[in-house]
Structure 1
Amino acid sequence: MSTVLLVHHAPSPRLRRILEALETGLAHPELEGISVESVPALATTDDHVLRADGYVLLTPANFGYMSGALKHFFDRTYYTCEGAVSGRPYALCVHGDNDTAGAVTSVERIATGWGLHAVGPAAQLTGEPTREDLDAVAEVAATVAAHLLG
């Protein structure tokens, strides 16, 4: 069984709805054989990262950057996991009030350093997420799982 690690920082109601959509996408019935660990960024450990086969990352865009919680997660795990996770698939979802570009760039730089493989472009949402936005986010998460199933 393959495992997808969903690392998230979802302090607002909007981000919690996005998190629920990501979890829904990963729980799709066609993805049998996928285990999901949904862990807040501040609680995620090296062990979580190392035992996962793929990743979904959720962060707000704060002041043009990823959240401090996600940055702290990377600070704690980067060197321990460097080299061990290369080639694994990931997806990124960023929500901001009006701009997400800086947050996306900052996470993508770290993912590149780890050697992760993006399964598609980052999902970038601004403002109040629509039903279509949430469905698209669920699909992004499911893409990571589907990639693991081959």
Structure 2
Amino acid sequence: MEAKKRLLIVAHVPSPNTLKLREAAEQGACHEDIEGVEVKVLAPMDAGPEDVLACDAIILGTTENLGYMSGALKDFFDRSYYPCLEKTQGLPFAYYIRAGHDGTGTNRAIASITTGLRWKLIQEPLICRGEYRAEFEDQCRELGMYVAASLDAGLV
């Protein structure tokens, strides 16, 4: 039997709505038709380079805070960047942003850091803009399912 591939979800959830988004991404990744992927979900402050080094793909989730990613996700990157720099090039990843405004600065910051890491973006960034809507949960569920199914099928 082949070992399961590992999908890591690192998401900041400071509110009930952002928790719903993270749970939706996890639900999608754990879809019953996806059998060859093990999903691990961590808060940014609980995740570190050892988790990134142990995964086959990663989904990041953050809020937009003053036009930037959450401090917690930035801290995760600060602790993980150099230990992962030479060892995770090409790591498939995707991310979502819960943006009360437009998410532009947050998107740019994540893109800059992950470009430096040379990670491989496998899905366009999901930016959940404006007032909270239930459809954001569906979009995060689809994102989680897409990444896990791609990993399961060996496409990434």
Shorter-chain TM-score tier: over 0.9
One of 41, 56, 59 as aligned partner of 2:59: 56
Selected match of 1:107 from 95, 106, 110: 110
Distance 1:29 1:50 in 2: 26
Instruction: Give TM-score scaled by structure 2 length.
Output: 0.91
- Give the equivalent residue in structure 2 for 1:72: 75
Aligned length: 150
Q: Which runs of 4+ in 1 moved over 3 A?
A: none
- TM-score normalized by the length of structure 1: 0.95
Q: How does 1:20-39 map to 2 (within 5 A)?
A: 20-39=23-42
Measured against aligned partners, the alpha-carbon deviations of 1:5-58 in whole angstroms (never above 9, x if no partner) come to 100111012211111111111111121110011000011021111000000000
Task: Please state which structure has a larger fraction of its residues in helix.
Answer: 1
CA deviation vs aligned residue, 1:52-76 (integer Å, no higher than 9, x gap): 0000000000000000000000000
Question: Superposition RMSD on alpha carbons, in Å?
Answer: 1.1
Question: Aligned to 2:102, what secondary structure does the other structure show?
Answer: coil
Is the deviation greater in 86-95 or in 135-144? 135-144
Is the CA contact (8 Å cut-off) linking 2:21 and 2:137 kept in structure 1? Answer: yes
Percent identity between matched residues is 35
Return the offset for 1:111.
1.0
Distance 1:56 1:85 in 2: 14
Which deviates the most, 69-78 or 95-104?
95-104
The residue matched to 2:89 in structure 1 has which SS? coil
CA drift of 1:131 comes to: 3.2
In 2, are the aligned partners of 1:31 and 1:145 still within 8 Å (CA)? yes
Which residue does 1:137 correspond to in 2?
140
Query: Counterparts of 1:86 and 1:42 in 2: how far apart (Å)?
Result: 22
Residue 100 (structure 2) pairs with residue 88 (structure 1): no
CA distance, structure 2, for counterparts of residue 36 and residue 14 of structure 1: 21
Give the stretch that moved more between structures: 120-129 or 42-51. Answer: 120-129
The structure with the largest strand share of the pair is 1
